[in-house]
């Protein structure tokens, strides 16, 4: 691993040449040249599909595809690549757990605790499965610090609690609840925990064994990898006890008019030709990350968010929704609509997001109908902060009487 060098890091992202001031990495991270090269090489040089053919190019591709699964297991310290299921991303992974784990097990009156800070991806699948089974959704409210209030968790947990849905890091506030504490409490009543790692994985890949996580989901595109690929980690015994939800090629060992027998895990959950290019691109991202001091890069991008927050706090009406020391800065200005502000910022070449961030219950709890969100990555610079502040001053001049 080499020491983190912001200029060198930045030089590896060709999209920055055309992206203006890119402050939307929480929506999707830009791709380093290593990932672009691996994806291009896959399409130009590979021949064949995975897990289907005997010829050498297909065999080599299968080996690479399975090695990528092992690389994800290493990233999360999962016991084995067999505990990693390829999915389209976090959303699909959580839906898989809701439909394949929860739906056959939940009884009317069982409870699913969902934190108020969740992204819709770790919310709607539980609302759906509750409707399908007669289970109840129980809210774990946020506290004054805008984090899921784990002090309230013991009072909510009881024998009917089957699942706790909790994000590793909020995509709005950047807040990271104490996963170890939440998981310990949930396990105390025999509930399993679904951790949404979509935002957290790039900042701090978890040790799923040390934290005793039951299910963990993440998306490749937030980790410098391609879109359309992600992974679900599940404890071996949980995955092994689950039936598939998608039927088709390669998820079976036997098919006849009398029925079918399913493959072992993880292939049971991977019907049809998978996103091989996505897996290759994601594995290139993981390989590339091995050489990055992620902790130092993280300190650097948090520093930029802190700087932006301190500078913007000098403007009247500024309000920050930032939790802890995060690289995400959600904010607004009194009497300024976030959509007006983001339109003017876009005209000034600043790429950031405004709205409800797919977290309507959290926004409701925060008492706002939308915010702006600048999310900083290690390829950002202090001049990006300056450009943001300048563009906001320009917008405030126009929008505030």
Nearest-5° angle of CA 107, CA 108, CA 112?
75
Task: Give least dist CB 264 to ligand PMP, A.
Answer: 26
CA separation (Å) from 228 to 168, 336, 352?
Answer: 21, 35, 22
CB of 119 to ligand PMP, least distance (A): 3
Which CB, 95 or 380, lies closer to ligand PMP?
95
Q: Which two tokens stand for residue 68?
A: 């990528």
- How is 10-33 classified by DSSP, letter by letter? HHT-GGGGTSSEE-BTTT-----H
CB 89 → ligand PMP: shortest distance, Å? 3
- Residue 18: exposure state from Cβ atoms within 10 A (0-12, 13-18, ≥19): exposed
Residue 194 dihedral angles phi and psi, to the nearest 5°? -100, 115
- Are 161 and 150 within 8 A, CB to CB? no
List interacting residues with ligand PMP (CB under 6 A). 89-91, 119, 121-122, 167, 171, 196, 198-199, 219, 358
Q: Minimum CB separation from ligand PMP for residue 91, in Å?
A: 3
> Read out DSSP for 140-159?
E-B-TTSSB-TTSHHHH--T
Catalytic choice (100, 176, 323, 358): 358
Distance between CA atoms of 115 and 169, rounded to whole angstroms? 12
Cα(212)–Cα(217) distance, integer angstroms: 14
Distances (CA, A) of 312 to 307, 315, 340, 374, 394: 9, 5, 17, 12, 13
DSSP 102: I
Helices and strands (DSSP H and E) totals, the chain: 15, 15
What CA dihedral angle connects 303, 304, 308 and 313, to 10 degrees?
-10
- Residue whose pair of structure tokens reads 């030709």 in the numeric block: 273
* Shortest CB 97 distance to ligand PMP, Å: 13
301 and 381 Cβ atoms separated by less than 8 Å: no
- Nearest approach in angstroms of CB 230 to ligand PMP is 6
29 vs 52, 123, 165, 209, 325, CA distance in Å? 33, 23, 24, 27, 20
Q: Which is nearer to ligand PMP, 166 or 341 (CB)?
A: 166
Active site residue 358: yes
Catalytic residue annotation: 358
């Amino acid at each position: 691993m080499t020491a983190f060098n912001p200029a060198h890091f930045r030089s590896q992202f060709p999209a920055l040449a055309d992206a203006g001031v890119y402050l939307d990495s929480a929506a999707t991270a830009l791709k380093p040249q290593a990932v672009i090269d691996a994806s291009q090489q896959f399409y130009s040089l590979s021949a064949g599909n995975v897990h289907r053919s005997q010829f050498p190019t297909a065999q080599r591709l299968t080996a690479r595809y399975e090695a990528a699964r092992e690389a994800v297991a290493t990233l999360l310290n999962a016991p084995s690549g067999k505990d990693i299921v390829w999915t389209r991303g976090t959303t699909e992974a959580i839906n898989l757990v809701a439909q394949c784990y929860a739906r056959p097990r939940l009884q009317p009156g069982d409870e699913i605790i969902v934190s108020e800070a969740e992204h819709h991806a770790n919310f709607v699948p539980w609302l759906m499965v509750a409707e399908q089974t007669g289970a109840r959704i129980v809210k774990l409210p946020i506290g004054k610090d805008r984090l899921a209030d784990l002090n309230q968790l013991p009072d909510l947990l009881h024998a009917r609690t089957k699942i706790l849905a909790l994000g590793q890091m909020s995509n709005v506030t950047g807040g990271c609840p104490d996963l170890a504490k939440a998981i310990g409490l949930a396990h105390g009543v025999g509930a399993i925990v679904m951790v949404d790692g979509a935002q957290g994985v790039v900042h701090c890949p978890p040790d799923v064994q040390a934290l005793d996580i039951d299910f963990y989901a993440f998306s490749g595109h937030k980790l410098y990898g391609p879109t359309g690929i992600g992974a679900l980690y599940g404890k071996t015994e949980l995955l092994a006890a689950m039936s598939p939800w998608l039927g088709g090629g390669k998820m079976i060992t036997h098919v006849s008019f009398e029925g079918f027998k399913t493959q072992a895990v993880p292939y049971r959950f991977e019907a049809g030709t998978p996103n091989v290019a996505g897996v290759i691109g994601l594995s290139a991202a993981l390989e590339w990350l091995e050489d990055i001091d992620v902790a130092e890069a993280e300190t650097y991008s948090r520093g930029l968010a802190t700087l932006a927050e301190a500078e913007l706090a000098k403007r009247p009406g500024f309000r920050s929704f930032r939790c802890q020391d995060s690289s995400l800065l959600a904010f607004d200005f009194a009497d300024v609509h976030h959509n007006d502000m983001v339109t003017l910022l876009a005209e000034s070449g600043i790429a950031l997001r405004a709205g409800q961030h797919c977290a309507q219950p959290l926004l409701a709890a925060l008492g706002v109908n939308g915010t702006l969100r600048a999310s900083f990555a290690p390829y950002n610079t202090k001049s990006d902060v300056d450009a943001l502040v300048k563009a906001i001053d320009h917008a405030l001049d126009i929008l505030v009487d």
